[in-house]
Amino acid sequence: MSTQELESIAQALVPAGKGILAADEGTATIKRRFDSINVESTEANRRVYREMLFTTPGTEEFISGIILFEETLRQSTEGGTPFPELLASKGIISGIKADTGPHDLAGFPGETVTEGLDGLRERLTEYRELGAKFGKWRAVINVGDGLPTQSGIDANAHALARYAAICQEVGLVPIVEPEVFMEGTHTIERCEEITEATLKRVYFELHAHRVVLEGTLLKPSMVLSGTDCPVQAGVQEVAEATVRCFRRAVPAAVPGVVFLSGGQSAKLATEHLNAMNAIGNCPWELSFSYGRALQGPTLEAWGGKSANAAKAQKIFYQRAKCNSAARYGKYTQQMEALAA
Ligand code: 13P
């Protein structure tokens, strides 16, 4: 695939007013989500839940792409249409979780490195044949006493770059996801410092591995106060710190920054995105690739009951719509009232 084709896929994922749904929870994560609503995590239940999300009427107005877990990429609607085909018919681009998760980094207690490079070329080639057009690899940077270490950042940045290079070779747009974990007592200033150091290292490695930045997207965490920090930064402070940090560390050649929500409430994730877009004047699109912040309220409303599906879909549509408005810096509290 040519560089231009990769660029046009990357751009098609971040058009005005649209963002990405992350629905690529691995087996352990989706089990935790289903446990929270007392639904058994069977393959059949996961399929039903994801069909409900993907068939929500009108989501394509706000959702450009959906990241899938391998199991979902191979599943079909009840009527027998493979999910990637269903999504393509709505103009939604399918993506695939390419990593196999974080594992303890030997010699560095409290830190992890994301695995999945062995056999990646072959797996990605098959995913592309199944309809995936982009990939995602999540690296986790834990914050704590003496954490992260430079070695922890380096190992994760290196793996992200190797993944991204293989993705582009195979013809998939790599979404590069370095997540600075929000759990901890750290201040927003410390988060900004770590986020900047991580992003700079990630772009150093992407450059060293000859990754074409125009054909990538960045999926980062926002610059936030740690969840247990006694002083919590407000929405405007978060937006300003995040934009400042990214202007320093993310090359202008990257078409889009698509944030993860990382455990923020659905509403707060929307407010933060909105405030960043209201600041404006950034070289990249500022968009979303939320998992929990798009699915949380929907999952709760669904509760595993088909009788609740229509209501759950309305809630999903509304969340996507609020985040779409936040892409323009035009989200208002009144939009939430409409949702209720
Ligand atoms: P959250 O928005 O729930 O953090 O999920 C996004 C994601 O894809 C994590 O890898």
pLDDT number for residue 339: 60
Supply the pLDDT for residue 278: 98
Q: Is the peptide bond before 148 cis (omega within 30 degrees of 0)?
A: yes
Question: Which of 51, 177, 179, 192 is flagged as catalytic?
Answer: 177
Cα 180 to its chain centre, rounded Å, is 13
Kindly state if the Cβ of 222 falls inside 6 Å of ligand 1.
no
Judge whether 177 counts as a catalytic residue.
Answer: yes
Q: What is the dihedral of CA 268, 318, 28, 202, to 10 degrees?
A: -50
Task: Using the mean position of ligand 1's atoms as its centre, give its distance from the Cα of residue 177 in Å.
Answer: 9
pLDDT at 71: 98
What is the structure's pLDDT at 122? 98
Q: Which atom number of ligand 1 is nearest to the Cα of residue 221?
A: 4
Q: What distance in angstroms lies between residue 81's CA and the mean position of ligand 1's atoms?
A: 26
Name which residue sits closest to atom 5 of ligand 1, judged by CA.
291
- pTM (whole model) above 0.85: yes
Instruction: Determine phi and psi for 140, rounding to 5 degrees.
Output: -110, 125
Atom 10 of ligand 1, nearest CA residue = 138
3-339 is a CATH 3.50.50.60 domain: no
Q: Where are the domains of the chain?
A: 3-339
Of 18, 97, 136, 219, which one is the catalytic site residue? 219
Each residue's pLDDT, cut to its tens digit, for the chain (340 residues) gives 899 999 999 999 999 999 999 999 999 999 999 999 999 999 999 999 999 999 999 999 999 999 999 999 999 999 999 999 999 999 999 999 999 999 999 999 999 999 999 999 999 999 999 999 999 999 999 999 999 999 999 999 999 999 999 999 999 999 999 999 999 999 999 999 999 999 999 999 999 999 999 999 999 999 999 999 999 999 999 999 999 999 999 999 999 999 999 999 999 999 999 999 999 999 999 999 999 999 999 999 999 999 999 999 999 999 999 999 999 999 999 999 866 5
Q: Is 21 helix (H, G, I), strand (E, B) or coil?
A: strand
Pairwise CA distance, residues 335 & 340, whole Å: 9
CA of 263 to the centre of ligand 1 (A): 8
DSSP letter string, 75-116 = -B-TTS-BHHHHHHHTTPEEEEE----EEEPTT-TT-EEE--
219 catalytic? Reply is yes
Tell me how far apart the alpha carbons of residues 47 and 197 are, in angstroms, rounded to a whole number. Answer: 39
CA of 270 to the centre of ligand 1 (A): 14
Q: Which atom of ligand 1 approaches the CA of 259 most closely?
A: 2
